[in-house]
Amino acid sequence: MESANYDFSLSIGGAAGQGIATPGNILARMFTALGLRLNAYNAFQSIVRGGHIFLTLRISDQEIHSHGDRLNLLVCLNQDTMDRHLGLMGPGSRVVFDGDTITPGAAAEGVQMCPMPVAEISDGSRNKVIQNTISLGVMTYLLGLDFDVLDRSLTEQLQRKGQDVVDENVGAARAGFDHAAEHFEAYPDPIPNGTKPLALWTGNTALAMGGAAAGVKFYSAYPMSPSTGVLHWMANNARELDIMVRQGEDEIAVANMVIGAAHTGCRAMFATSGGGFALMTEAIGAAAMMEIPSVFINVQRAGPSTGVPTKTEQGDLWQVLGASQGDFERFIVAPLDALDAFNTIPELFNLCDRYQCPGIVISDLLISEGTFSVDPDDIDMQPKIDRGELITEGTANGGYLRYEDTESGISPRALPGVEGFVHVVATDEHDQDGVLISDEFTNPHKRRQMVEKRARKFAHVIDDIAPPELDGPEDADVTLIGWGSTYGVIKDAMALLQSQGVSVNHLAIKWIVPLHDETVIDVVAKAKRTVIVENNYSGQFYRYLRSVTGLAIDGHIRKYDGEPFMPHHIVDCVLEQLAGKTDVSVPVQEIMV
């Protein structure tokens, strides 16, 4: 493998409580400090002890967009991991495990088994997770890295626990490194250096930082996996950034607090998952009726009901499309990756302020709880801020009409407390001055006037949103259409399909409402064969697209087992459909996580 095209994947498997996160974090820091791109996905269960956890880290000196679908190195912290995953390992790979407690299975030819005598190396340590540290030493040697790289990372990670803990772990890692140097064969291609050190973040961190960059000053949430990381970041940084953070007693209270804060002119948002979002939808409708700009984040997990709390899915699209009752204007946007999630939040706040309506971000566990490298230079903490027609001072000349029926449908918005701009804001339908129409009598003409006024705001909104761009040759054999988080895996699958002689292009949809329907219609009209890829059972985006455009699509690739797509799933399904075997493919998850 040439250093100019380095692509390596490793997995650490074990049970909840075995401390898998710590070695994963240490490795991630090591790799990004070397300037390598990283994409990590952790398949875990919603239990404190036991079960099965399988953390995969993919690194490369080139851009990568998914956690891949092959393994070069497997670290087994228990027998269960060995039994589940050894069959995935191919020639040239390595398997690291505690030779004292784990019995290796029958490995494929060319797989190097690397048993560690943990009790001997650790000198009988009673530390239950010492094998993790020893494994780090073994991996560092196998990857061709100097031990000093691991020494620095361990010290940085553990120094808050005291020097004794640092010394114990550095010593155990050194013993593992030395044992590997004596008994195992390192990979022939050592890890290269990137051009500069990179940073690490999760998708939830990106969403939270995007909120801070957008000027959010109020954040409220009720913890619900997989959205809780946004709350954690906000709480940890609230004082430094002058952000008020409140954990509400329930999701209903949270949503109404956010709307109340936004009414005062403060940029405010919350994040939840599908179950919490279900409780918040009446409040979202209230924001639409009162024309209060606010941002709501739904981080999808597998449903319905409690569903599978720690697994990913794109199953909430119709939920957000139908959030709250009645017809009203809203933005719905599905970021494509973590950096896009960061950039989307300020853009969405600007749009919500300009058009005085709610905005919904629909993410999912894959993006929000994934860990990714990022170039710090790509993070703009000073984005353009556009508050729209916002009155913050002055004196009203005559009666102030908060909901004035303007040509654009956008009414001048005065913040509460500005002298001379007293007005009524309520969730009932109202006249231009905010007086409830049911207080005089339910005037059908005024009702129609206000519905049409609000709708008129979106007459030309599409002009303020960039259309999706077709990636790949226009005359491709297959056009793949995806939305949200399928962007990365489709992008990686394209290269694999092209290597097999299949010309492919990709239309990634980010903005759901409003939808650039003319762009989609144009792409589909020119396509030889169209295939929609989505992480749900019923083809929710396809049904929405068909309802808006009337388009028929040739094929579908769907996955709904809780795990995300892997590149070869897309490849296999496209080849299956090109061969005429089916027009709806459901890939099987080989890695039993």
The per-residue pLDDT for range 564-589, each reduced to its tens digit, is 999 999 999 999 999 999 999 999 87
Q: Is residue 529, in this structure, part of any structural domain at all?
A: yes
Assign 529 to helix, strand or coil. Answer: coil
Do residues 243 and 269 lie in contact, with contact meaning Cβ atoms separated by under 8 Å? no
Distance CA 93, CA 142 (A): 10
pLDDT at 541: 98
Q: For residue 143, is it within any domain?
A: yes
Residues 274 and 169 in one domain: no
- pLDDT of the residue at 218: 98
Residue 161 falls within a domain, yes or no? yes
Q: Residue 521 pLDDT more than 60?
A: yes
Split into its structural domains, the chain has a count of 4
pLDDT on residue 472: 97
Domain C-terminal end among 336, 352, 378: 378
> Residues 49, 25: contact at Cβ < 8 Å?
no
Tell me which of 152, 183, 214 is where a domain ends: 183
Residues 26 and 173 in one domain: yes
pLDDT value at position 3? 43
Closest to 294 in 3D by CA, of 323, 251, 335, 265: 265
User: Has residue 106 got a pLDDT over 70?
Assistant: yes
Q: Which helix (H) or strand (E) element contains residue 504?
A: strand 504-509
Q: Choose among 245, 333, 326: nearest CA to 286.
A: 326
Same structural domain, 559 and 578:
yes
Tell whether 227 and 366 lie within a shared domain.
yes
Residue 374, pLDDT score: 98
Tokens at residue 36, please?
């390598």
As a three-state string, the secondary structure of 208-249 is: HHHHHHHCEEEEEECCCCCCHHHHHHHHHHHHHHCCEEEECC
**Of the residues 344, 378, 412, the one at which a domain ends:** 378
User: Which pLDDT score, from 0 to 100, does residue 313 have?
Assistant: 97
Domain that holds residue 411: 389-465
> Average model confidence (pLDDT) for the chain?
95
What pLDDT shows up at residue 419? 87
Structure tokens, 438: 């049911």
Could you tell me what percent of the chain has a pLDDT over 90?
88
pLDDT of residue 128: 83
Residue 557, amino acid: I
Q: Give the CATH number, domain containing residue 334.
A: 3.40.50.970
- In this predicted model, what pLDDT tens digit does every residue of 185-235 receive, in sequence order? 999 998 998 889 999 999 999 999 999 999 999 999 999 999 999 999 999
User: Would 138 be classed as within a structural domain?
Assistant: yes
Q: What pLDDT is stored for residue 591 in this prediction? A: 55
- Give the CA angle between residues 507, 512, 518 to the nearest 5°: 60
CATH number at residue 125: 3.40.920.10
By C-alpha distance, which of 374, 369, 376, 379 is closest to 38?
374
Shared domain for 288 and 303, answered yes or no, is yes
Residue 192 lies in a domain: no
Q: Indicate whether 196 belongs to any domain.
A: no
Q: Give which of 591, 579, 584, 582 is closest to 559, Cα–Cα.
A: 584
Instruction: For residues 141 and 226, state if they share a domain.
Output: no
Looking at residue 462, what DSSP letter applies? G
